[in-house]
Amino acid sequence: MAAQRLDGAARAAGILGEVRADLASPPLRGMRLRLASVSVGSHPTGSLYVRNQARACADLGIEFLPMELPADSDEDALVRRIQELNADPDLTGILLQRPFPPGFNARRLQAKVHPDKDVEGMNPANLGLIVYGTPRLAPCTALAAVDLARASAVPFKGREAVVIGHSEIVGKPIAFLLLNEFATATIAHIETRDLSLHTRKADFLFVAVGRPGLVRGEMVKPGAVVIDIGISRVQGPGGEVRTVGDVEEESVARVAGFLSPVPGGVGPVTVAMLMRNTAAAARLQTAKVPSR
Ligand code: NAD
């Protein structure tokens, strides 16, 4: 039987509806939400992801403010800009567009974003709260992947969950969010000796690597929930360029119970989570309590 498709667009629409309601209720009702999108060099508005961010903001009445530093700016110039934005009381969220120029220290930059304006959930204070089991602003893709898995209605508690990929922005936060749900979480990575040994026992399999075809049907437990987070651009036989994930869709769909497609799975939910975080960040600022 073919796996049930986990429809990211439908899930995103549901989340955006909740955010819209949130923005129309106290304490956010009447508040002006302004999200700065900072890049070094030409702002990647051409990228689909950034266009989708801008569109989602426009739909919700959130101001999306592209800010472009000159292409030859150094890391300190970006730090100074972040500090100005932190201090700007009219600005409720800060988004640092990736990838950073070569040589920039992503950790240092993420740590400079004020935790209450950190809509990407990448400041160490916000990442640390996931480890504490009390997430506040968490990384959008990790939230999206777990949310889409939850849409399968298979309970996390007590189940085996395997995450392939151990980055700070995706793999590690997914594993901690799953631990908070009492799943038994395993993280696999480039040095994992026998990937299939782990993936075959997974009731939930999250794949965040960026290698098309990494996970094939024979590596998947029958009935598993498979969440494909990878994004790669590949050229088809006719020269056409397509976006694909890390999962070999045809063989995995024959074995899995649920599968999130690429495109149309985690991607749209990630943008919706960014909007949810943007509203949550604004709420933190209305609370006027010192950040933890
Ligand atoms: P990354 O390069 O930081 O991390 C890749 C991870 O894959 C590492 O942990 C590495 O150890 C592991 N890995 C590499 N080769 C492997 C192999 N052969 N077997 C097992 N593990 C292997 O990447 P990232 O930033 O975590 O992104 C991962 C993927 O997710 C990329 O394709 C990226 O484009 C995609 N992504 C999607 C979204 C979204 O919104 N859908 C957001 C962010 C990233």
Domain locations in the chain? 23-133+269-288, 140-265
Q: Which of 2-6, 48-52, 54-58, 228-232 has the lowest mean pLDDT?
A: 48-52
195 neighbors 188 (Cβ within 8 angstroms): yes
**How far, rounded to the nearest angstrom, does the alpha carbon of residue 229 sit from its chain's CA centroid?**
9
Interhelix angle 48-60/266-287, rounded to 10 degrees, is: 50
Backbone angles phi, psi at 225, to 5 degrees: -95, 115
Task: Tell me the pLDDT band of 43, cut-offs 50, 70 and 90.
Answer: low
Query: Which residues approach ligand 1 with their CB closer than 6 A?
Result: 141, 164-167, 169-171, 188-190, 192, 195, 208-211, 214, 229-232, 266-267, 270
CATH architecture of 23-133+269-288: 3-Layer(aba) Sandwich (3.40)
Question: What are the beta bridge partners of residue 65?
Answer: 36
Task: Tell me the pLDDT band of 291, cut-offs 50, 70 and 90.
Answer: very low
Strand 232-235 to strand 225-228: parallel, antiparallel, or no bridges (unpaired)?
unpaired
pLDDT tens, position by position, 153-172: 999 999 999 999 999 999 99
pLDDT tens, position by position, 192-201: 999 999 999 9
pLDDT of residue 169: 94
Q: For residues 131 and 129, give the distance between their C-alpha atoms in angstroms, rounded to a whole number.
A: 5
Is residue 288 over pLDDT 80? no
DSSP, collapsed to helix, strand or coil, labels residue 244 as: strand
DSSP assignment of 157-190 equals: TT-EEEEE---TTTHHHHHHHHHTTT-EEEEE-T
DSSP, collapsed to helix, strand or coil, labels residue 40 as: strand
Tokens of 41: 């060099």
Report how far ligand 1's centroid is from the alpha carbon of 230 (Å): 6
Q: For residues 153 and 207, give the distance between their C-alpha atoms in angstroms, rounded to a whole number.
A: 19
Listed in sequence order, the DSSP H helices in 68-225 are 75-87, 106-112, 124-132, 140-150, 171-179, 195-199
DSSP, collapsed to helix, strand or coil, labels residue 120 as: coil
- Give the ligand 1 atom nearest the CA of 140: 40
pLDDT of residue 46: 56
CATH number of this structure's domain 140-265: 3.40.50.720
Report how far ligand 1's centroid is from the alpha carbon of 226 (Å): 15
